[in-house]
Structure 1
Amino acid sequence: MANAVSASETIDLDSILKQLGAFGKYNIVNYALLLFPIFLAGMYGSVFVFEAPDISYRCEISQCEGTNESFWVEHAIPRDKNELSKCKQYQFIGNYSQSNRTCSEPDFNKAVIEQCEKYVYSDEDSAVKDFNLGCQNWKRTLIGTIHNSGLFLSLPLTGIISDRYGRKVALSIACLMNGIFGFIRSFSTSYIMMLIFEFLEAGLGAGAYSTAFVLAMELVGPKGRVFGNTLINAVYVLGLMSLSGLSWWLQDWRLQIRVIYAPAFLGFTYLWILNESVRWLLSKGRQNEAVDILKKAMKMNKVDLSDDVLLPLSELGNAEDTKSKEVTPKEEEKSSFSRALKSNIIRKRVLVCSFLWITCTFVYYGLSINSVSLAGNKYLNFMLVAFVEIPANFACLLVLDRFGRKRTLITTYVLSACLCISLSLIPKDQKWLPLIIYLSGKFSITIAYSSVYIYVSEVFPTNVRQSLLAVCSALGRVGSTLAPLTPLLALYYDNLPAIFFGSMTLVASALVFTLPETINVPLPDTVEEAEKLSRRKDVKDNA
């Protein structure tokens, strides 16, 4: 009975939202407010790339420092890949004298190579320099891993707050946490302090994006969601590009953090200026507040809706209060979740979908992070790799309904694999070809990532769809957590990260064959209906 009430509620509300219009003044104003934290989230999600970029440095040879480097550096430091080594030096055998501080080739024994003890850093700005992380690449890349590991905390925590206390409460708190812990991080006096606040900022604030996304999707009717989703993705990409532009301009990672995190405090004011989700209010039985917000929207959009249209919402809320006593939602949800996991088909589907998600996050974030190591201007490279997501999301909308989910996923995974692996076959003297292939790889994996999100929501039954999607999404964060460590692979072979990306996408493409096609198929409402998807032949597009 409770499920029937919820379904009716959704239908009635969607009908009202349709009459209000998808692009009225109320929608535009509230959508603009929600796009602001999404824009900020685009910067926060990858800020670690520019906090601790790899910079130039060499061994500090105290006996020779202060003299003309052109006379002794080439003889003091061995070459690694045609460049002066960052971490090694030849043994110093010269007779050091305070009165005669000169160094030359005879002062170094090239038969003995030693590890550096101290470093001389370039003028480039980086946490590597501030915290003396020379030749400790694992510490440098760990910053991004610690940041992304915070998502394991933020997603469920923000979800609980959002469902229990409201969307705007969860969004306001997350923005405040971003501002507080992000701003404090800019004053880090040690590497450990930086890691602590890196985790706290993401662990308590990264949920701002998901909450704003949910609010935005609940704000408009069905016809406005596709455009709204595309707009959200585009604004997120603009945040990524702005991050790179600011880093290029400021050249100061501490100042950059203060500049991008200060606006997050404005998000806390949403607690008073943003309207709560009407859907959430109705789900909590607060129908009078929901009706007041709808009336406000009517006034702003200059749409007249009679009281007869809004009256059913109030009656529906009263009915739900009465019938909710007959069914305990938590008990029903727990029972449905357990029943779903008892199905071999559903369990296998969860495992496969989780791997698809891990692959997407791993390759998607890995390509973005490693783009700064491409030849050329690292800031422009990062901007281009981010910008390519905009046409990729539009392409996703075009191909999913035309060619189907499975064919799109298999094609984009295989294409990503071929493009990534081909990077290792390109001669190093090529300048633009590697970048073009790199951008094409990011284009294809972005389509796959967007497709997976839609596809996973279609292969699970309605009564546990949100729960199982959350499981796949949470496991998928393993990929984004490991992605910042991939630059370490390049220390052994320049194209090893790309080969690793290609190998994972090939495995993912093979696993897609084990899943059913869902194009033009009604969403399954029960476990039995979901199982039937795997027992029927792939559905052809009858459109």
Structure 2
Amino acid sequence: MSQDVGLDAALRELGYFGKYNIVNYALLLFPVYLAGMYGSAFVFEASDIHYRCNIPECEGYNNNTWLEHAIPAKDGVLSKCQRYQSNNNSGTCSIQDFNTSIVKDCESFVYSDEDSAVKDFDLGCQHMKRTLIGSAHNAGLFLSLPLTGIISDRYGRKLALALASLMNGVFGFLRSFSSGYIMMLIFEFLEAGLGAGAYSTAFVIAMELVGPKGRVLGNTLLNGVYVIGLMSLAALSWWLQSWRNLLRLIYIPAMFVVSYYWILNESVRWLISKGRNTEAAAILKRAAKMNRVELSDEVLAPLYELEKLNTDEKSKDSSNVNHKLEGNMQSNLMKVIKSSIIRKRVVICSFLWITCTFVYYGLSINSVSLAGNKYVNFMLVSFVEIPANFVCLLVLDRFGRKKVLIVTYVLSACLCIGLSFLPKDQKWLSLVLYLSGKFSITVAYSSVYIYVSEVFPTNVRQSLLAVCSSLGRVGSTLAPMTPLLNHYYHNLPAIFFGSMALIASILVFSLPETINVALPDTVEEAEMLSQKRSKKESA
């Protein structure tokens, strides 16, 4: 008997968005909102502010006309990292006091009044150190995703959410008191490595809270609130103008999410998967009371039958059962390893995921270097994700997964590469292209998540999805370093983004279409998806 039979029937009778679901969703939206801010806090925490070389022999002069004699300029902009050799002649800081034929690197810096870790830790012209702050944060995802997943699957969703949120709050708050660069780097990694799983756990609870027909709306709500978190981050940074105060303000609320361990009901679907069907039935009854509906005995009966069945099995010697399950798991894993089709699919899907995270996060991070107000630019680049998610829902079931992926990857590539051909004075047109590129890659990102879950067999789907997702974090880890490319050519990051997206669009052609196709349960059924594609092409 399927464990979901009683649950799906119960969810239909409860209603997909009754009072119980609305209350629980409202609670879950709060950690999702916080996650939107935490994921990109480093963008404003270690922003590249204005500074120049310190010229000790001239700093006492009130008239800054000597700067053009002491510091080389390009297109009317003074160099941030170089100065002219001093002759120490007249001491008047005139052009005669500097040898403009000899350029050397700065020994110390004069920073603007802007607030940033760059100023606090004297990171002037140490671009690798600055971008490493963001990379350290995103590298923490390699630890947080599997760690939180293990806790969530073994000990429950509530505990995983509470622990991850506590780690967010503690290490994020402590980071605001960093007295040095290394201390900041360590807390950046620990906060993400132990706390970034709060979002994925809240997402799982939300998806398990409703039936299939309610997941589309639920997913859209979660994505929308996450984007609001991103926009709030930029607004708060603009208002506070202090990265330390910003961290204290946004991370303290995470500690209140710990109370969810006592407030939030455990996922009914998780309880059933653990054989705790009586507890699951009790939660469903409370939900029915809140929604003012009466659950029929026929709906709850399968849960009690499963409870009795599980109790009987536990009373027997379970060593043979465990041995059989272990053997089946090893057998399925060997089938995946031996299947050239599945292996190729894993590699391609991982590259698609890497491309999405690389371009998605790269465009967000580099938006602060666009002409104009960096806070407004970041909010605009974040806002386009809301309509992008709605478009994704409209086009995926109408045009198919492959067509949407190919079109959005190609469109993103053309828009990003097209930025490099625009003259610098076309600021508004550049912003429009930039926002359009973020829009298209967001649609691709949402589509990839759905598509990858459809091309792998049920018995190893979660494992292979985790492999692709984990490898995809390579893109988000490298993305914070892309601003370094600006120092070689202003539009080099956009060209990199476009090239990656173009390669991804070509690779999609080798994958099968999954629209209106039943999810494969075995490796053999998953392989047949490609065979069906080949038959259609030959026909």
TM-score bin (small chain) = over 0.9
Aligned to 1:130: 120
Candidates 373, 379, 393, aligned match of 2:369: 373
2:397 is the alignment partner of 1:397: no
The CA deviation at 1:265 is 0.4
2: CA distance, partners of 1:10 / 1:239: 34
Q: Does 1:433 align with 2:429?
A: yes
Output the CA distance in 1 between the equivalents of 2:6 and 2:296. Answer: 14
In 2, distance between residues paired with 1:262 and 1:538? 55
Aligned equivalents of 2:370, 2:292: Cα separation in 1: 53
Q: 2:405 maps to what in 1? A: 409
Give 3-state SS (helix, strand or coil) of 1:109's partner.
strand
Q: Aligned residues, how many?
A: 530
* Contact 2:5-2:302 within 8 A present in 1 as well: no
Equivalent-residue separation in structure 2 for 1:270 and 1:57 (angstroms):
45
Report if aligned partners of 2:6, 2:300 keep a CA contact under 8 Å in 1: no
In the TM superposition, residue 317 of structure 1 has moved relative to its aligned partner by 2.5
Give the C-alpha shift of residue 283 in structure 1. Answer: 1.0
Is 1:27 matched with 2:21? Answer: yes
Q: 1:18-417 maps to which residues of 2 (within 5 A)?
A: 18-95=12-89, 102-322=92-312, 325=318, 327-328=321-322, 329-417=325-413
Deviation at 1:321, TM superposition (A): 4.6
Query: What is the CA–CA distance in structure 2 between the aligned matches of 1:68 and 1:468, rounded to whole Å?
Result: 64
Deviation by residue 1:398-448 (Cα, 9 ceiling, x = unmatched): 111111111110000000000000000111111210000000000100000
- Paired residue for 1:484? 480
| Aligned CA distance change for structure 1 residues 398 and 196 (closer, same or farther; 3 Å) | same
Match of 1:418 among 411, 414, 420: 414
For the 8 Å contact 2:142–2:193, the answer to whether it is kept is yes
Matched letter for residue 304 of structure 1: E
Q: Are 1:360 and 1:479, in contact at CA under 8 Å, matched by a contact in 2?
A: yes
Q: Equivalents in 1 of 2:528, 2:29: separation in Å?
A: 39
SS of the residue 1:132 aligns to: coil
1:486-540 C-alpha deviation (Å, 9 max, x unpaired): 0001110000000000001110000001100111111111111111111113799
Amino acid at match of 2:20: Y
Q: Does 1:527 align with 2:523?
A: yes
Q: What is the Cα deviation at residue 308 of structure 1?
A: 3.7
- Partner of 2:110, secondary structure, is strand
Superposition deviation, residue 323 in structure 1: 5.0
Superposition RMSD on alpha carbons, in Å? Answer: 1.4
Secondary structure of 1:327 counterpart: helix
Aligned residues: percent identity? 73
Ranges in structure 1 where 5+ consecutive residues have no aligned partner:
none
Moved over 4 A (4+): 321-324
The answer to whether structure 1 residue 509 and structure 2 residue 505 are counterparts is: yes
Alignment TM-score, normalising by the size of structure 2:
0.96
Deviation at 1:269, TM superposition (A): 0.6
Decide whether the 8 Å contact of 1:409 with 1:451 is kept in 2: yes
Give the C-alpha shift of residue 95 in structure 1: 4.3
Displacement after TM superposition at 1:334 (Å): 3.2
Q: Structure 1: how far apart are the matches of 2:125 and 2:437? A: 30
- Give the conservation status (yes or no) of the 8 Å contact 2:84–2:104: yes
Letter of the aligned partner of 1:410 in structure 2?
I
Q: Which runs of 5+ in 2 are unaligned?
A: none
Instruction: Give CA-to-partner distance per residue, 1:48-95, whole Å, 9 cap, x none.
Output: 000000011011011111212423111100013431000111111124
Matched position secondary structure for 1:112: strand
CA distance in 1, matches of 2:505, 2:452: 15
How many Å separate the matches in 2 of 1:538 and 1:120?
A: 64
8-17 vs 523-532, greater mean Cα deviation: 8-17
Distance in 2 (CA, whole Å) between partners of 1:394 and 1:334 is 40
In structure 2, the residue corresponding to 1:91 is in which secondary structure?
strand
Partners of 2:402 and 2:509 within 8 A in 1? yes
Q: Distance in 2 between matches of 1:307 and 1:523?
A: 31
Q: Name the SS of the counterpart of 2:530 in structure 1.
A: helix
Would the aligned equivalents of 2:9 and 2:299 in 1 still touch at CA under 8 Å?
no
**What one-letter code is carried by the residue in structure 2 that aligns with 1:235?**
V
Q: Could you report, residue by residue, the CA deviation over 1:84-134 in whole angstroms, capped at 9, with x for unpaired residues?
A: 0001111111248xxxx7422211111111110000000000000000000
Contact 1:151 1:206 in 2 (8 A): yes
**What letter is aligned with 2:200?**
S
Q: Write out per-residue CA displacement over residues 359-385 of structure 1, whole angstroms, 9 at most, x where no aligned residue.
A: 000000000000001111110100010
Give the letter for the 1:404 counterpart: G
Query: Displacement of 1:330 after TM fit?
Result: 4.2
The superposition leaves residues 438-483 of structure 1 with CA deviations (integer Å, 9 ceiling, x where unpaired) of 0000010000000000001111111001110110000000000000
- Measure the CA separation in 2 of the matches of 1:309 and 1:500: 54
**Contact 1:77/1:89 (8 A) holds in 2:** yes
**8 Å contact kept, 2:6–2:301:** no
Asked if structure 2 preserves the Cα contact closer than 8 Å seen for 1:517 and 1:538, the reply is no
